[in-house]
Structure 1
Amino acid sequence: MRAYKVPDTAKLDRVVQEAITTAEKRALGYREQALKIYPWVCGRCGREFTRKNLRELTVHHRDHDHQNNPADGSNWELLCVYCHDNEHQRHLEAANRQSMEKTASSVASHSPFAGLRTMMNRRDKP
């Protein structure tokens, strides 16, 4: 009988917490930098933000790579949460459209009803 190894949940919890902490630090880092570099205005709809509603202003990565955070902010743009969601939805739809076009290019060549009229004509004659 094979022995079952009990996973070390404490180690797993530490690894997960460390990953979360690292991601939060990275997000705060580039968010704070972007808020210092750019005016607090949504890059799409033009909505202006103050300290009171600043939490609704997000940092969008233009190349969709959250690891790409140049200090000059060239990969960032500030978007309100609505425009940010819309941008990511458009990106997903474009990716889906491309995969659909690839699938559509491989059209089936078999026609299951090709000889149906001939078969029906033969059946009608006595």
Structure 2
Amino acid sequence: MTPEQAKIVQNARKYADERAKGYREQALKLYPWICGRCAREFNHANLRELTVHHRDHNHDNNPQDGSNWELLCLYCHDNEHQKQIEAVYGGSAGTTGPAAATHNPFANLKERMNKK
């Protein structure tokens, strides 16, 4: 990585951290420290595992009333983003994965049972 690229990455990380701290701190003041999906409760000891999810997936959309945020635990947050990825790519197999199964093992079951 060139020095210029390293500087760009460093600045991007710094900006992301500052942005995240701003809306994270606001969300933690607005909402109870409970995951919005699984209802797991958090305290100061495990608060780092509670994340702020942007409902519209736009991290720059941070209204002061918190209407675009919800608090999710790490696991539920990952699951939420996985659901979005699967929706975009047509399900968990994706568009480039194997084709749907077409074989039906029970197709001629009635005929097989009548052969006895």
Normalised to the residue count of structure 1, the TM-score between the two structures is 0.68
What is aligned with 1:30? Answer: 23
What is aligned with 1:89? Answer: 82
TM superposition outliers: structure 1 runs of 4+ over 4 Å: none
What is aligned with 1:106? Answer: none
1:42 matches 2:35: yes
State how far apart, in whole Å, the 1-side matches of 2:85 and 2:9 are: 27
Select which of 40, 62, 68 maps to 2:61.
Answer: 68
Please provide the CA RMSD for this pair. 1.8
- Which secondary structure does the structure 1 equivalent of 2:58 belong to? coil
- Answer with 1 or 2: which has the greater Rg: 1
1:45: how far off? 0.6
Amino acid at match of 1:48: E
Gaps in structure 1 of 5+ consecutive residues: 1-6, 101-126
Tell me which protein shows more helix as a share of its residues. 1
1:58 matches 2:51: yes
Superposed CA deviations along residues 78-110 of structure 1, whole A, max 9, x for unmatched, are: 00011111111111111112885xxxxxxxxxx
1:71: how far off? 1.0
Percent identical residues: 65
Superposed CA deviations along residues 42-99 of structure 1, whole A, max 9, x for unmatched, are: 0011110000000110000000111111111100000001111111111111111288
State how far apart, in whole Å, the 2-side matches of 1:67 and 1:16 are: 18
Amino acid at match of 1:92: I
Gaps in structure 2 of 5+ consecutive residues: 96-116
What is aligned with 1:113? Answer: none
What is aligned with 1:17? Answer: 10
- Which secondary structure does the structure 2 equivalent of 1:97 belong to? coil
Select which of 57, 72, 76 maps to 1:79.
Answer: 72
1:39: how far off? 0.3
